[in-house]
Amino acid sequence: MSFKLPPNLKNDKNEVRKIGYEFEFSGIELENVAKIIIRLFDGTHKEVNRFNHIVEQTRLGDFKIEMDAALLKDATYLSALRKVGISMENHSFQESLEDLLEDVASVLIPCEIAAPPVPITEMDSIEQLRGALQQEHIEGTRTSFVNAFGLHINIEIPEQNVSTILNYLRAFFLLYDWIFKESEIDFSRRIPPFINEFPAEYIVKVLDSQYDPDLKTLVQDYFDFNPTRNRALDMFPIFASMDKRIFNSVINDDKTSPRPAFHYRLPNCLIDEANWRIAREWNLWAEVEFLANKHHQIKKLSEKYLEMWNTTIINFKNKWYQILKNWKQSGGVIDR
């Protein structure tokens, strides 16, 4: 399966857009993950601490490999123990403690690879990594009912302006029910709050053709309805990168790393399943890319969505999914 390329391959600096991937999984030691990355892409392994590793200077850039919990990867457990008088000068005690933490964490906390952003035309290299990890018999989303593991995709925005953001938000909202069903999101990922749906009231507000905010209003409205990063499409990084002053004035969040990228959090990480491909998850997102560049289609679909929203009492999501299926099968004809 190949990666579909979107209409806009370059950003507003005329550079090829970049895509970053984050994998969540379990069942393998971080050091062994580092060895796989080095085998594929060269580089140098650096162990920051037991739960936080980096592979530097690969041909793609720097990879981060960590247990996805701040308590572990930042080693804050050490300072907490010192505060109650427990010294870590005894290295054998620290090693035993970290063995215990690793055993517990391996059940409850996923490992995570944060790959460096790669050019949108070179995403096959990430599929290479998927294939190598798949051979290690690690655990993905569906291995256990507690494995709420995801694949996060960070997609560089083609242009940093409000109009572009609105086009992408509208395209995502319009296609969301179709993408969700086609993605077959595992039940284990529907229970935690990490990929909560956007509130219907916010979707209706954004799809209204009269909605024409400036950046401050867009950020304020977003935060009023979504005071959290736990959405299938996290917009905090883009807002922080466009204007940190506005972002800080509206959103009290010191964990967001500003970057001009959509943080798409919806897909499962089925890294242990032989038929799973990252290209499949990307290609579902690519439908958002295509629609975001068809302003007339956005307008017509939005009108249809709002009309159905105002007249449908039950089963709206399934009915809208069928509308989208018909729309895609008909090549973009709304009322087939």
Over 70: is that where the pLDDT of 77 sits?
Answer: no
- In terms of phi and psi (left: phi > 0; alpha: psi -120 to 50; beta: otherwise), the region of 75 is left
- In terms of phi and psi (left: phi > 0; alpha: psi -120 to 50; beta: otherwise), the region of 42 is left
10 in any annotated domain: no
Over 90: is that where the pLDDT of 101 sits?
Answer: no
Q: Average pLDDT for residues 122-131, to the nearest whole number?
A: 96
pLDDT attached to residue 69:
52
pTM: 0.86
CA 325 → CA 18, 168, 328, distances in Å?
A: 30, 20, 5
Q: What is the DSSP letter of 212?
A: -
pLDDT tens-place string over residues 264-282: 999 999 999 999 999 999 9
User: What one-letter code names the amino acid at 89?
Assistant: E
137 in any annotated domain: yes
pLDDT attached to residue 335:
52
Token digits of residue 64:
């981060």
Q: Of 150, 152, 145, 151, nearest to 187 (Cα)?
A: 145
Q: Average pLDDT for residues 56-72, to the nearest whole number?
A: 82
Over 70: is that where the pLDDT of 83 sits?
Answer: no
Q: For helices 162-183 and 316-329, what crossing angle results, to 10°?
A: 100
pLDDT band at 302 (very low <50, low <70, confident <90, very high): very high
286 in any annotated domain: yes
Domain that residue 211 falls in: 18-294
Q: Average pLDDT for residues 75-85, to the nearest whole number?
A: 43
Q: Average pLDDT for residues 102-113, to the nearest whole number?
A: 64
Query: What is the Cα–Cα distance from 200 to 283, expressed in whole angstroms?
Result: 25
Token digits of residue 168:
């992408």
pLDDT attached to residue 205:
98
User: 185 in helix, strand or coil?
Assistant: coil
Q: Maximum Cα–Cα distance for the chain, whole Å?
A: 72
DSSP characters over 288-323: HHHHHT-HHHHHHHHHHHHHHHHH--S-HHHHHHHH
| Portion of the chain with pLDDT greater than 70, in percent | 86
Query: What is the Cα–Cα distance from 105 to 30, expressed in whole angstroms?
Result: 12
Look at the chain and report how many structural domains it folds into. 1
pLDDT band at 68 (very low <50, low <70, confident <90, very high): low
pLDDT attached to residue 76:
44
Over 80: is that where the pLDDT of 35 sits?
Answer: yes
23 in any annotated domain: yes
What is the separation of C-alpha 213 from the centre of its chain, rounded to a whole number of angstroms? 25
218 in any annotated domain: yes
| Portion of the chain with pLDDT greater than 90, in percent | 68
Over 50: is that where the pLDDT of 299 sits?
Answer: yes
Q: Are 154 and 282 in contact (CB under 8 A)?
A: no
179 in any annotated domain: yes
108 in any annotated domain: yes
pLDDT attached to residue 99:
52
The larger pLDDT score, comparing residue 138 to residue 10, is at 10
Q: Average pLDDT for residues 34-57, to the nearest whole number?
A: 94
197 in any annotated domain: yes
Token digits of residue 223:
């935060």
Token digits of residue 123:
């995403």
Write out the H or E segment, with its range, that includes residue 37: helix 30-41
pLDDT attached to residue 141:
81
Query: What is the Cα–Cα distance from 251 to 231, expressed in whole angstroms?
Result: 15
Q: Are 7 and 289 in contact (CB under 8 A)?
A: yes
Query: What is the Cα–Cα distance from 61 to 55, expressed in whole angstroms?
Result: 9
pLDDT attached to residue 89:
55
87 Cβ neighbours under 8 A, 6+ residues apart: none
19 Cβ neighbours under 8 A, 6+ residues apart: 117, 118, 119, 120, 123, 153, 154, 155, 156, 282
pLDDT band at 334 (very low <50, low <70, confident <90, very high): low
pLDDT band at 93 (very low <50, low <70, confident <90, very high): very low
Over 80: is that where the pLDDT of 296 sits?
Answer: yes
- For 223, what's the count of Cα atoms within 13 Å in the CB-facing half-sphere? 18
Q: Average pLDDT for residues 78-88, to the nearest whole number?
A: 44
DSSP characters over 265-286: ---B--TT-TT--HHHHHHHHH
pLDDT tens-place string over residues 180-219: 999 999 888 888 888 899 999 999 999 999 999 999 999 9
What values do phi and psi take at 109, rounded to 5?
-120, 130
